[in-house]
Amino acid sequence: MKINKISCLIVTETKLQTASAKMIYKDYKDITTWWSCDDNNHFSTGVRIIMNNDYAKYVIKKDIIKGRALKLTLLLKGKIHFTIITIYNFSNNSYKDEILEFYTKLEEILTAEKKLQAKIVCVGDFNASYDTAIAQ
């Protein structure tokens, strides 16, 4: 990250279990990492945010949706709330109930952040089909 001057890197579908996630990057002193894993279903889950410590020092809150989403709230100068949300949604439509529950939780998070007048960046793999969404 230092060589390429990357301040924040977001990774989806990490397929990591918590024990592995804790070990990766632990020896890097210039970055901080956060992750969301699902140890019961790690083959199709996992998100991670890797951030330079120059920015990580502003993180005031972390929230997760197990294995699916990670939200970091930073408090910047001028009392500006800056929220980064990374997601990895279910890729198989056979999990319709879980997908709907996931989007409900995501909507709750976005609504709460908007009340704080946060600046929001939401990125990741939504595994959404444009044609299917339009048809519904």
Amino acid of residue 67: G
Q: CA–CA separation, 17 vs 2, rounded Å?
A: 26
For 105-122, what is each residue's pLDDT tens digit? 999 999 999 999 999 999
29 has a pLDDT exceeding 80? yes
pTM of this structure:
0.86
C-alpha pair distances (Å), 34 with each of 71, 77, 127: 9, 22, 22
Q: CA–CA separation, 90 vs 96, rounded Å?
A: 9
Second CATH level (architecture) for the domain 8-128? 4-Layer Sandwich (3.60)
Residue with tokens 């939401």: 122
Exposure of 126 in the CB half-sphere (CA atoms within 13 A): 10
11 has a pLDDT exceeding 60? yes
Domain positions in the chain are: 8-128
φ and ψ of 31, to 5 deg: -130, 160
Which two three-digit tokens encode residue 89?
């949604």
For 118-134, what is each residue's pLDDT tens digit? 999 999 998 876 566 55
